[in-house]
Structure 1
Amino acid sequence: MNAILAVNHFLKSEKFDELHNHIISSAKKLGVDMEIKTNQELIFSDEKPDFVLFWDKDVNAARLLEKRDIQVFNSASSIALCDDKAKTFLALKGCVPQPETIIAPLSFFETDYSEFVHLAAQKLGLPLVFKECFGSFGEQVFLCKTESEIISHINGKPFLLQKFIADSEGEDIRLEIVGGKCVGAMKRTNKNDFRSNITNGGTAVPYTPTNDEILLAQNACKRLGLTFGGVDILKGGYVCEVNSNAHIMNLMKVTGIDVAPMIIEHIIDELL
């Protein structure tokens, strides 16, 4: 069986190289001949592998591969739902509990959002969480104490405002789901930031999730159509974020659980 690991052409760092090389090594041990190709390379490629493990957020590139009748994991539609926090919220609304969220209305030019911000602040209370709809590792996410602080972060990009779950400040749990099963979890804590992300200085320890937490993560991944995904849950049982290509090396370093071969094995089982 041959496969491609799709990665971003412009995103290069030691952290990503470590992840990509580990996935390739895991595939080799399972008898899968997998090579790394960037999203740019795939646009011009006429290769037709047995499957593509799409570890990027280039939804259009993923859709292009699907149009060539190539099996892509996760699917382009699932990646699109996870990459846009507004789409994630709407897809999961009524399916799993989430922090109360207000998506900013679309504007086609630079505009004054002060009225919207005032109405949202009245409804959600202050402080509240400002999130750009696109971003990773807790970037473009801010805890805002005033309306003027909210406005200062508006820069023409799509955004949403979210109720601050104070009980979960600097703390969440990450559950990894593969093929509908929870294969590992960790609890993340950051004493110096309201965001728990390890990239922002957070630390993590192994965690045994409750049945309710597992069910939340399973339901979220199922609704989003994910073959595999990382689900972040806040105190109180609120799903905060779902990742279509979470940085699984952190989970492995914290818990010793290697998710990469589990993902590849599940894909092989689906294809056979």
Structure 2
Amino acid sequence: MRIPRSNRLKRGLWSAGVMEPRLVILSRGPELYSTKRMFEEAEAAGWSVQILDPLKLTTVVDDNGVKVFNKGWPVDCDAVIPRIGNSITGKGVPIVKAFERMGVIVLNEGGGISSSRDKLMACQMMNERGIPVPITANVGTWQDTRRAISRVGGTPCVVKVTEGTHGSGVFLAHTEQQARQLVYQMLERDMRPLVQEYIKESHGQDVRAFVVGGKVVAAMRRKARGGEFRSNFHLGAKVEKLEIPDKHSEIACKAAETMGLDIAGVDLLESSRGALVLEVNSSPGLEGIEAASGVNVASKIIQHLNRVWEKKVGQGDSSEAPSDQEVNGEGTSDAY
């Protein structure tokens, strides 16, 4: 289903005589659905948009601060939306932080991306804030697996790596022997295994709440197909629209805030003791949520960016007002 664009974003975004604000989307896949949708909506809203591969950018740190270069030219922009995949977190986050040092708007910032990618750190941070999560144990040696299983309520239990996405590295262990075997294999590969409580009531399904700017803008229920217990859209799960309960929404927003994320896909498990946060995704996909909910989520993201931009401009940031020479095309414009 093609989701119509909104024209409301064009009106009153910037004052007369000021150049179009410049947005950089950091993405290794310009052809990907989520990247294309945000590009379309940002352009429709009046942004000058460029998609750049974060791994092909160069950063220079000198006495004048930090500068980012693309193919030898400085990247000058007003805002950045990072789409940093899990596999490039280590290399992508420093690029994001460089843009932060340059003083531009960044949705999401590097610290939030890093925290959300480490499942153990994220679990600890949410627990400190009183956000309900499944009981989780970090196992340092395979001999401790039995104690960990006992702490999370016995088998079946979930065994997963601390860093992974789209359901990779997540297994359902039906016996203690199977769990010990999985933990041993992960440790042998220098991975950090987690043993986590299995929520029987949510077998094969979860709730994805899409949070933008501290509000849930769309939600869906994901249901795995066949005998699969993971409900990730990329694993072929069915998605359906969901009117998310207020309590679920409150938990999702608090989880995104705790991770320091403006844009987040918060995955919730519905248990007998209420909603539990399974994971907070800092680069959530748009295809499934837009199809299921009928909400133009890409537009919601750009609307939030506009509000942040308007606030920054309203505070009189002189860097946002180009000189007469720049407006007339006489100034330096190396990046574009």
Please, what TM-score do these two structures have when normalized by structure 1?
A: 0.90
2:132 matched to which residue of 1? 97
Partner of 2:3: none
| Matching of residue 5 in structure 1 with residue 43 in structure 2 | no
Bigger Rg over Cα: 2
RMSD: 1.6
Deviation at 1:270, TM superposition (A): 1.1
Shift of 1:90: 1.0
Structure-2 residue corresponding to 1:108: none
- Residue 43 of structure 1 aligns to a residue whose secondary structure is strand
- Alpha-carbon contact 1:82-1:244 (below 8 Å) kept: yes
Output the amino acid matched with 1:19. Answer: S
User: 1:70 & 1:149 partners in 2: Cα distance?
Assistant: 49
Q: Secondary structure at the match of 1:235?
A: strand
Q: Percent identity?
A: 26
- Match of residue 203 from structure 2: 169
Shift in Å, 1:199:
1.6
Describe the superposition over 1:26-66 as per-residue Cα deviations: whole angstroms up to 9, x where unpaired.
11000011111011223351312101101114222212222
**Distance in 1 of aligned mates of 2:159 and 2:102:** 38
Aligned to 2:193: 159
Q: CA deviation at 1:243?
A: 0.8
Q: Conserved in 2, the CA contact under 8 Å of 1:48 and 1:70?
A: no
Q: Which amino acid aligns with 1:53?
A: I
Residues 210-225 of structure 1 mapped to structure 2, 5 A cutoff: 210-225=245-260
Kept after mapping to 1: 8 A contact 2:82/2:96: yes
1:253 is the counterpart of 2:288:
no
Q: Does 1:138 align with 2:167?
A: yes
**Aligned: 1:33 with 2:61:** no
Aligned positions of 1:15-164 closer than 5 A: 17-44=32-59, 45=69, 46-56=74-84, 57=89, 58-94=92-128, 95-105=130-140, 113-124=141-152, 125-150=154-179, 151-152=181-182, 153-154=185-186, 155-164=189-198
Match of 2:219 in 1: 185
Which blocks of at least 5 consecutive residues in structure 1 are unaligned?
106-112
Q: 1:230 aligns with which of 265, 275, 286?
A: 265
SS in 1 for 2:57: helix
Paired with 1:149 and 1:35, the residues of 2 have a C-alpha distance of 48
Structure 2, unmatched stretches of 5+, are: 1-20, 60-68, 311-336
CA distance in 1, matches of 2:112, 2:77: 20
TM-score (normalised: structure 2):
0.74
Q: Deviation string for 1:211-246 (max 9, x for gaps)?
A: 111111111111111111111111121111111110
By how many angstroms is 1:265 displaced? 1.5
Q: Which residue of 2 aligns with 1:239?
A: 277
Moved over 3 A (4+): none
1:125-164 CA-to-partner distances (Å, cap 9, x unmatched) read 1111111111111111111123332333412112211110
Assess if the C-alpha contact under 8 Å between 1:6 and 1:39 holds in 2.
Answer: yes
Distance 2:23 2:57 in 1: 12
Partner SS, residue 206 of structure 2: strand
3-state SS in 2 of match to 1:162: strand
- 1:132 and 1:157 in contact (8 A); partners too: yes
Q: For residue 76 of structure 1, report the CA deviation from its aligned partner.
A: 0.6
Give the AA of the match of 1:97.
P
